[in-house]
């Protein structure tokens, strides 16, 4: 996973929809990232403003509709690691709630 994440950074790509469902494993347990539908190439120091991704793993800045950087992927990666360790999502609003409850 670290190697895949490093490749994204090396090529200045922000995935913007990192979640467990987009992390695939090959037969020999190599990690493959999938679903680059929201991915974007970013120039240095540029902020992104598009509201996209999966709310449960979105960085707070995106949820609040504020400008954000490639660091939004780091937040999502943290959510994924939490899920892998504890078997649940760290911020799980009640059924029927809205984005404000998630924030």
Structure tokens at 84: 């892998």
Name 24's Cβ contacts closer than 8 Å, sequence gap at least 6. 31, 32, 33, 34
Spatial contact of 42 and 12, defined as CB atoms under 8 Å apart? yes
Query: Which entry of 17, 35, 73, 101 is annotated as an active-site residue?
Result: 17
Among the listed residues 14, 1, 25, 4, the one whose alpha carbon sits nearest the alpha carbon of residue 53: 14
Active site residue 73: no
Tell me the catalytic residues: 17
């Amino acid at each position: 996973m670290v190697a895949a994440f490093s490749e994204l950074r090396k090529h200045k790509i922000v995935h913007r929809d990192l979640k467990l469902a987009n992390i695939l494993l090959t037969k020999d347990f190599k990690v493959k990232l999938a679903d680059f539908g929201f991915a974007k190439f970013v120039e240095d120091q540029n902020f992104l403003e598009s509201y996209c991704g999966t709310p449960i793993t979105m960085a707070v800045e995106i949820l609040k509709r504020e400008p954000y950087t490639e660091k939004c992927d780091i937040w999502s990666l943290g959510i994924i690691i939490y899920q892998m360790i504890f078997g649940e999502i760290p911020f799980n609003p009640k059924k029927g709630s809205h984005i404000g409850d998630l924030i």
